[in-house]
Structure 1
Amino acid sequence: MPAAADTNPPDYLTLMKAQEMWKVADGSGITVAVVDSGFKKVPGVRSESVLPGVSVMSPPIKEPDKKYPPHDDVDGHGTTMTAAIVGDGSGGAPKGLAPGAKVMPVRTSLGTPMAFAAGAEGAKGIRYAADNGAKIINLSWGDYYAFERLKPAVQYAQSKGALVFAAMGNEGEGNNANNLLAMLPGVIGVGAIDETGEPLDLSSHGPNTDLASYGSKARIRCKENRGWCVAVGGTSYATALASASAALVWSAHPDWTANQVARVLIETAGGPVDGAKRNDWIGYGIARPSWVLLKKAGNPGAPDVDPLAPAPTNAPAPAPSQTAAAAPAEAAAAEAGLPWQWPALGAVVAAGLGLAGTLIVKRRRR
């Protein structure tokens, strides 16, 4: 990877009007759980921005009592996601989009030789985050084999009022395998865009994509978490920015529910240039929290209704004398995204475990 001094990433924070947004809300009062490879204290992330967190790493069979601290990260992926959300911009680190928020690191075996256990560990971590005050849960990875354990954990977190974001994956140019977590009802599947605002070629895509954000050249941890470099961040980085966008909105409207925060992000997203309500690459569009904070756009709507769930039509119920089964009602049109009016932004390669397996289509709305 090139050193940070060799090339500079696009200033996506200026494009997102971050400085103006921070005058309204900076994420204060919101805890974002980053269930990932952990967090290592590094230049660019203040200690006060990161909570104690927890490690859910499984100990070796021969060392059943071995403990792993949550504030360590041999890979750097979780540290990068943390910095993208709350970094202070010093020492080569990125400036976080929601610098006033708190990150709760939940360390799994991602980035270690035991990474195959990360899915099951992540399920425990999601439950821990939900039980310990996380409003937003950031999942910049996926696991096909542990899906049946992750699914009830995500549902449990949602029952506690948490909003869950999941990276779509980075296999758009390969087999385009999607992160199965993104198919779950209420989970926001995040894709990535490039510097021109176009969908990133490597971004996995499909009917489970709900929003997109920047994921191209960014400051990330490299050299086995021994320094900051500039490289593509992919849907992992884009998901961290989507989580930070939600933190800004929720900080400004602390009485809203997860459904309401999700709804206004969807309603104010910069949608496809062809005028479609959504497409499989960017979903409803690029997250634009500035439209919520600065333009007061977006209707939060019902607090207990998933904005992504299909809505029943108003067709009358069949008469009692009818014997034929009624045809399933089609889902109503999804929340409308505003026209694409977001400046050039970027994204590319994501991180986490490989997303093997067959594409499973979400709850979809139509």
Structure 2
Amino acid sequence: MTGRRMLRSVVAAAAVATTVLLLGSSATAATPPPIPDDPADPVRAAEYWLDGARIREAWQTTRGEGTTIAVIDTGIGKVPQTFGDAVVGGTDVSGTGTPDGRTPLGAIDGNHGSWVASLAAGRGAPDGTGMIGVAPEAKLLSVSVGFGAAAAVPFTEQVAKAMRWAVDNGADIINLSFTTNTLDWDESWDDAFLYAFEHDVVVVVAAGNRGSGTNIIGAPATIPGVLTVGGVDQTGTASIEASTQGITIGISAPSEGLLGVSADGEVVKWNGTSGAAPIVAGIAALIRSAHPDISANDVINRIIKTAIPVPDAQKPRDPLYGYGLVDAAAAISATLPAVDTNPMGDLAEWIRLFRRAESEPAPQPELTPVAVPPLPDADQPSEAGSPLLPSAESLRYGTLPLVALTVPGILIALGVTAAARRIRSARVPVRHNPDSEE
């Protein structure tokens, strides 16, 4: 049992002990007291996903106590009511933020990390009003990363470092609400994501949005083993602008008409799978809280196996919806056998096949020695002679063959010449001289 599983077991045991005390006094039910929640509050009422994804029903079992969600984003703002006791640690990997990871990075996207965190585990007001997260009793880790000019460190290096820091600091779930718009990823991410999987961490990733130019999912949503989240609107229909498509999408969650708490405490509306992902990350925290000994693979399996089917979607997995719409209550209460592998793929096997990281060396041929007989001794050198006098070798291979070929050639040439003269002499006519007649 890993350290984080032991921690969840202790928390669960404490919760059971409290329940026993209540039953021994005047309590009549084993369910914990309800979380302060006023559905009539305008802000709380606008969080339609609390009922649509059956999160309120899941709260009757757990609110995420004993779990930790790492938000690798632009930093979680210091909003006392929303994040006062929620953020338990943080760091900056951009080179431009503060050591605690709480300073929002980026002139445009600075509030992004706060919006994401408030959806995953934001605290509501004590009277049950104001925005509340999916797992309001889960803890948060804030890891600030910089995009573009907001970073002094290469982005791929930031992500790799952030993943390892989150794992080493107790994350049960890691949320990544960004995309690179490319299917491939830097090789440094191989080890970083594998490190998370080997340490039993659930990694939840946003699929990306068409509205921001992402027509098809990109890394890290393409990495085997991550739970990629697509987006739907309030009716459960795949969002045209606030989502994208791809064969690695595993589950769908609301991505339109979302709420988020900015770094200055203001509640704003926003869209995108950047918000769908932390909803699923919060549900993963609820599952791990309700089942302290559950593995990351089983958390993912529960989420996809209990998904609400979408009519006319491809079965078993659709490029728009994945396995269907997320159902928090079903994912917690379902009875499912444990799985041995990650339903979203095996990164280690992918590395072995495509990076050739663990390929076996080519077999070496067996070499049998061959006995070679020794060469004969070289001939002794002959005595040196005058270079002007012919030697036996020059007479044998030079002079005699030359004489043998030259003399017959001369005789043949003389014969041919004599024969030609006779022929010409025979062809000259005899002229008659009239003066010689008598």
Specify if TM > 0.5. Answer: yes
| Residue 77 of structure 1: aligned partner | 112
> Which structure 2 residues correspond to residues 8-157 of structure 1 after superposition, within 5 A?
9-59=46-96, 67-74=98-105, 75-90=110-125, 94-110=131-147, 113-114=150-151, 117-143=154-180, 144=182, 147-157=186-196
The 2-side partners of 1:245 and 1:101 are apart by 11
- Contact 2:91 2:101 survives alignment (8 Å): yes
Q: Using the TM superposition, give the Cα deviation of residue 151 of structure 1 relative to its aligned residue in structure 2, in angstroms.
A: 3.0
Match of 1:252 in 2: 290
Q: Deviations over 1:251-294 (max 9, x none)?
A: 1111110001111111001122126222101100111121133x
Q: Percent identity?
A: 31
| In 2, Cα distance between equivalents of 1:55 and 1:175 | 27
Aligned to 1:269: 307
In structure 2, relative to structure 1, the CA distance for the partners of 1:137 and 1:20 (3 Å cut) is: same
Q: Does the aligned pair in 1 maintain the 2:308–2:327 contact within 8 Å?
A: yes
Residues 14-49 of structure 1: CA distance to partner in whole angstroms, max 9, x if unpaired?
A: 233333322211111111111111111115413211
Deviation at residue 8 of structure 1 after TM alignment: 7.3
- Give the structure with higher Rg (CA): 2
Distance 2:93 2:199 in 1: 20
How many Å apart are 1:72 and its aligned residue? Answer: 1.7
The 5 Å alignment of 1:295-310 reads: 296-302=333-339, 304-309=340-345
Give the letter aligned to residue 83 of structure 1.
S
* SS of alignment partner, residue 142 of structure 2: strand
Q: 1:115, CA displacement in angstroms?
A: 8.1
Greater shift in the superposed pair: 50-59 or 94-103:
50-59
The reply to whether residue 165 of structure 1 matches residue 204 of structure 2 is yes
Measured in 1, the distance between the counterparts of 2:66 and 2:212 equals 39
Matched residue SS, 2:160: helix
1:212 pairs with 2:249: no
1:139 and 1:175 map into 2 onto residues whose CA distance is 16
1:48-85 C-alpha deviation (Å, 9 max, x unpaired) = 111122111225xxxxxx85431221401111111111
The DSSP-based 3-state class of the residue aligned with 1:52 is: strand
Cα deviation, residue 5, structure 1 = 8.4
Paired residue secondary structure (2:178): coil
| CA pair 157-213 structure 1, distance change in 2 beyond 3 A | same
Per the alignment, do residues 42 and 158 of structure 1 end up closer, same or farther by CA in structure 2, a change over 3 Å counting?
A: same
Does residue 192 of the first structure (1) align with residue 231 of the second (2)? yes
Deviation (angstroms), 1:301:
2.0
Is the contact made by 1:147 and 1:181 (CA closer than 8 Å) also made in structure 2? no
- Over 3 Å counting, the alpha-carbon distance change for 1:173 and 1:40 in structure 2 is closer
- Which residue of 2 is the match for residue 320 of structure 1? none
> Which structure 2 segments of 5+ residues have no match?
1-40, 347-438
User: Aligned with 1:147: secondary structure?
Assistant: coil
Higher helix share: 2
Q: CA deviation at 1:148?
A: 2.7
Give the TM-score, by structure 1 length.
0.73
Cα contact 2:44–2:131 (8 A) shared by 1: no
TM-score, normalising length: structure 2: 0.62
Residues of 2 paired with 1:136 and 1:261: CA distance? Answer: 10
Q: Greater RCO between the two (CA within 8 Å, min separation 6)?
A: 1
Deviation at 1:216, TM superposition (A): 1.1
CA–CA distance in structure 2, aligned partners of residues 282 and 187 of structure 1? 16
Instruction: Report the Cα distance in structure 2 between the residues aligned to 1:159 and 1:214, rounded to whole angstroms.
Output: 30
Cα separation, 1, equivalents of 2:290 and 2:90: 25
What secondary structure is seen at the aligned counterpart in 1 of 2:63? coil
Q: Deviations over 1:179-224 (max 9, x none)?
A: 21122221111111001110000211110111111111122245xx
Aligned to 2:392: none
Change (3 A) 1:168 1:175: closer
CA contact (8 A) 1:165 1:242 kept: yes
Letter in 1 for 2:102: H
Q: Distance in 1 between matches of 2:43 and 2:227?
A: 35
CA distance in 2, matches of 1:172, 1:116: 27
Q: Which amino acid is the alignment partner of residue 224 of structure 2?
A: P
